[in-house]
Amino acid sequence: MGLVVSAGQVGAPFDVMSFPEMSMSAVSDALEAARIQYEQHTRACRQCRADSAPCAVAKHLWRLFNKARQNQLRSNGA
């Protein structure tokens, strides 16, 4: 179960709300979509190809992929 942290105003204590549970197929779909987005970006991005290093967008997409993978591992373990 993931957590969402929100604040009504600056300096206010945070309220913690839980994410709705996702089905196994939704978790797998999210992981696959994140992987595809990362791979498509690194193939299409001029900076990623020229520098042989990921750009800021690629790094962000990689983080999203890692979060999706962690969610899948949690779903399989639960």
Backbone phi and psi for residue 51, each to the nearest 5 degrees, phi listed first:
-90, -10
Q: What is the pLDDT of residue 74?
A: 87
Domain ranges of the chain: 23-77
Number of Cα atoms under 13 Å in the Cβ half of residue 57: 12
Predicted confidence at residue 57, as pLDDT, reads: 95
At 22 the pLDDT is: 59
Q: What is the pLDDT of residue 10?
A: 43
Q: Which residues of the chain have pLDDT under 70?
A: 1-24, 78
